[in-house]
Chain A
Amino acid sequence: MTTPGPTNGPSTRPGPATAAGPGVDSSSLLSLRGISKHFGAVEALKHVDLDVPAGQVTALIGDNGAGKSTLIKAIAGIYEPSGGEIFWEGRKVSIHTPRAAEELGIATVYQDLALCDNLDIVENMFLGHEKTRTGVLDEIAMELRTKEVLADLSVSTVSSVRQLVGSLSGGQRQAIAVARAVMHESKLVIMDEPTAALGVSQTAQVLDLIKRLAARGIAVIVISHNLTDVFAVADRIAVMYLGNLVSSGPVANYDPASAVDLITTGESSRTAA
């Protein structure tokens, strides 16, 4: 059932084919080969292979506990994989820290958002990337840029960017976390259930935002339990089942019924296309 291989759509990134490992598609921005992760006796990831092309939205789907969050944490430098290889633009890399992931151009919005409630929106947006002038924080520049980014993403519900993040609603917090991830020039943006806590119009806005990121040539990985959202936004789909990546390929290869089969049983007799 696994559909490895050729990416559809224009290949925007002809990587150096020579440096690529065995079986690594050099047109992919990110390639995972045999990634596994143990938590003691729990095998959260079992030899996961995945290719993520630039300029496309890859939806990562799977049941609760399938290993989706663990997989993206391995990419983002939060967890060190127990085994396997990661290729970035065709070159083998090891991502030991969040900073290393960031330096490659990987930005992540976590399921738990990872915002500091005691800091305001501007402070959270620039956390770890503060603008300074002669060593002193440049609050004005950061505040102006924050307003610009939020306006750009049509985040219109916060009344002041100097509001403490702890006082925001779930949707507002999500919007800030997304804005934070896309503010820095990233090549890959990973979002763990970005619409889970959102109302109808904010969900539409985030999905719209995801498409716009992809249109700019950014690779996006989205985890979602909402198949409507997935089919609305994804160019590619990857399905996880009990730590295995059981299927991946262009969205045209799937329909909601086969996706549900894959999510719940790890296989599907129905295959679109």
Chain B
Amino acid sequence: MSDAGSTPAATSDGRTSAMGQFRRLRQGDLGLVPVLIGLLVLVIYFQVRNTVFLSAGNLTNLFIQATIFILLAMAETWLLLLGEIDLSVGYVSALGATFAVILLDQQFHWPWYAAILVAIATTTAIGTLQGFLIIKLRLPSFIVTLAGLLGWEGVLIFSIDRQGTGGTIPVQEKVLYDLVNANLSPLATWIFLMASIAIFCWIIIRHDQSRRSSGLDSVATWITWAKVAALIASGIVLVLIFNTNRGSFTVLHGMPYAIPVDIVMLAGASFILTRTKAGRYIYAIGGNAEAARRAGINVDRYRLLAFILTGVTAGVAGLLYASRLGGISDGVDGGNLVLLAVASAVIGGTSLFGGRGKMVNAVIGGLVIATIYNGMALIDMSAATQFIATAIVLVVAVTMDSLARRGSTVTR
């Protein structure tokens, strides 16, 4: 076409990307910066109050505590991105785990992999069913999953009490028990974490370099290497934390198996969200469902996919939960769990209004909640104070979410 127009419109140099950063700041899209600052403040506070906080043993414990919040928040994120919510996810994950634990005990004696499969299949089926009702019958997800919150608790109590073990079924099978309660060897810890970091670094380097070699604006080379260095450093810190002996009478070291589970789930979910059409469509539907429809996207199919992925993630969360508690009881508070899951996602920076958020936000948010619970317990604060502190953090997070939303539409 016309030669006059062939000077690239959006010619770019390092400056534009700095401008882009600034624009995002002004839009209120600060990314992870505020929540990481918040986390740092909490860490410093608790460390000052009690020096046990930053000990290897306590940090490992904190990561394990965070696992359940992280995975449930990841489950919730699939739906929050669509502007939907799942209030039932706490009981659903517990119900999946219940079935696994029942199938693993003396009576049935299923192999661990079959029981785990049943747990995940159960939560996936429930997610699919609820999603189907919400999408096909155009029911609000809030109400359908509120019914789920009540209904699945009923099924859970019924299933557990039928076993006649007094309301609790212990995990007696080794693999499921070890998921949270056993550790990789220090060498395996090194290998797993360094391999993960290497893959992640390789992705970052390749991404930045291919942008540079295609003539697209990219960050300066030193920033790429700074990111890589920071990743490697944090990986080494993690290894050192996990590999420090935290036992008092016997040697106890290495990374709990739950952590690799978290990492694999995070990597898989992030891959789907950022690298595949399905992920792109979930964002598009959350941002403007009508625009997505007009772009030819089968909106209902991808909404259902999100409900299915919520179910899958909830299944994994439930197994880790049962492993951590060493069993499952009819007193599981799935209502509290789901609220903390939503809080984790939102504190991490995922929007309640749909279309904005990342899986890694669930991880950071989950760590914040776990830090509050862990630290408050260390400095002997009451449960009441823990609730209030969590509430304050949540209100701050949701306020920032709302401000960011206003900031990004005000220029329209």
Please list the residues of chain A having a beta carbon within 8 angstroms of any beta carbon in chain B: 76, 78, 97-99, 102, 108, 110, 113-119, 123, 127-130, 132, 135-137, 140, 143-144, 147-148, 150-164, 166-170, 173, 212
Contacts A123-B280, A143-B216, A153-B5; A117 near B294 (Cβ below 8 A): no
- Check B292 against A127 for contact (C-beta < 8 Å): yes
> In whole Å, how far is B37's beta carbon from the nearest beta carbon of chain A?
23
- Collect the chain B residues with CB atoms within 8 Å of residue A76's CB: 294
Binds A, one of B9-17, B191-199, B362-370: B9-17
Q: Are B284 and A163 in contact (CB under 8 A)?
A: no
B49 interface hit (Cβ, 8 Å): no
Residues of A within 8 A of B283 (CB): 116, 118-119, 123
User: Do the beta carbons of A147 and B412 come within 8 Å of each other?
Assistant: no
Task: Let me know if A116 and B2 touch, CB within 8 A.
Answer: no
Beta-carbon contact of B1 and A158 below 8 Å: no
B-chain residues with CB within 8 Å of residue A161 when the two chains form the complex: 10
Are the C-beta atoms of B16 and A97 separated by less than 8 Å?
Answer: no
Kindly list 9 other residue pairs between chains A and B, CB separation below 8 angstroms, not including A140-B216, A144-B216, A148-B8. Answer: A99-B296, A113-B291, A116-B291, A117-B408, A128-B296, A137-B274, A143-B216, A163-B20, A163-B23
Q: A110, A123, A159 — which one has the most chain B CB atoms within 10 A of its CB?
A: A159
Report if B295 contacts A (CB, 8 A): yes
Binding site for A on B (CB under 8 A): 1-2, 4-10, 12, 16-17, 19-20, 23-24, 27, 29, 210-211, 214-217, 274-277, 280, 283-284, 286-288, 290-297, 355-356, 408-409, 411-412
B5 CB, nearest partner CB in chain A, Å: 4
Q: Which of A119, A130, A154, A169 contacts B287 (CB 8 A)?
A: A119
Contact (A130, B280) CB under 8 Å given A154-B5, A167-B23, A168-B411: yes
Contact of A117 among B216, B275, B287 (CB under 8 A): B287
Q: Which residues of A contact B217 (CB under 8 A)?
A: 160, 162
17 A-B residue pairs with Cβ-Cβ distance under 8 Å, sorted by A, are A116-B283, A117-B412, A118-B355, A128-B295, A137-B276, A143-B216, A144-B215, A151-B7, A151-B9, A154-B4, A159-B19, A160-B17, A160-B20, A162-B20, A164-B27, A164-B408, A167-B408
* CA–CA, A143 and B211, complex, Å: 10
> B107 to chain A: closest CB distance in Å?
44
Question: How far apart sit A153 and B2, CA to CA, in the bound complex (Å)?
Answer: 9
* B23 contacts across to A, CB distance below 8 A: 163, 167
Residues in A neighbouring B275, C-beta threshold 8 A: 136-137
Are B288 and A114 neighbours in the complex by a CB distance under 8 Å?
yes
Other-chain contact of B408, A115, A151, A166 (Cβ < 8 Å): A166
Q: Are A154 and B9 in contact (CB under 8 A)?
A: yes
Cα A127 to Cα B290 with chains together (Å): 12
Tell me if B276 and A116 are in contact (CB < 8 A).
no
A166–B411 CB distance below 8 A: yes
Question: In the bound complex, do residue A136 and residue B10 qualify as a contact, i.e. CB atoms below 8 Å apart?
Answer: no
CB-defined contacts of A160 to chain B, threshold 8 Å: 10, 12, 16-17, 19-20, 217
CB contacts (< 8 Å) of A156 on chain B: these are 9
Minimum C-beta distance from B6 to chain A (A): 6
CA distance A5 to B4 in the complex (A): 39
CB-based nearest A residue for B357? A118
Establish whether residues A167 and B27, one from each chain, have CB atoms under 8 Å apart when the complex forms. yes
Within 8 Å by CB of A102, from B27, B276, B288, B296, lies B296
User: What residues of chain B lie closer than 8 Å to A148, measured between beta carbons?
Assistant: 8
Residues of A within 8 A of B292 (CB): 116, 127-128
CB distance from A99 to the nearest CB of B (A): 4
Shortest CB distance A172–B (Å) = 10
Distance, CA A158 to CA B11, complexed state (A) = 10
Q: How far is the CA of A162 from the CA of B288 in the complex (A)?
A: 18
Question: How many whole Å from B202's CB to the nearest CB in chain A?
Answer: 15
Query: Which residues of chain B are within 8 angstroms of A78 by Cβ–Cβ distance?
Result: 294
Q: Which chain B residues border A132 with CB–CB below 8 Å?
A: 277
- Least CB distance from B142 to A in Å reads 21
Question: A137–B272 Cα gap in the complex (Å)?
Answer: 10
A140 and B295 within 8 A (CB) = no
